[in-house]
Amino acid sequence: MVIDWHNYGYTILQLRLSSDSVLVNIAKKIERIFGRLADDNFCVTNAMSCDLNDDWRIKAYSLHDRPSVLTSLSSRQKHNLFNKLKSTYPIFGCSNKEQMMTVLQPLLRQKMAR
């Protein structure tokens, strides 16, 4: 059994119930027991790994979520991306003037730099 730790389930339950709830305490004990019985444990932060090790004596490997390559988008790419997103997510929609600015801003910067 392998456990992928993103947070403690009992702490999520604690948001709904009180911290001294019997159900919260049972959930915490179950997490601790199964965490120790697991063949392997991993998480996405060093902080979670340290917390599991220090508080629960569970060895967890940190496997960070990150893209393989980070690149900046050009203004044209940003413009195209937001146009594509706004068809599904209206929050990304904006007025024509604002849309034009994603294309025109680099041109204006170039002219001002001369």
* pLDDT, tens only, 52-79: 999 999 999 988 776 667 778 888 888 8
d(CA 11, CA 7): 8
Tell me the H-state helices in 38-95. 46-56, 75-88
pLDDT at 7: 87
> Which residues are within 8 A (CB) of 94 and not within 5 positions of it... i.e. 6 or more apart?
82, 86
- pTM of the model as a whole: 0.53
Contact 28, 21 (CB under 8 A): no
The per-residue b/e assignment along 8-24, b for 16 or more CB within 10 angstroms, e otherwise, is bebeebbeeeeeeeeeb
Tens-digit pLDDT profile for residues 7-55: 889 999 998 898 889 999 999 999 999 999 999 999 988 888 999 999 9
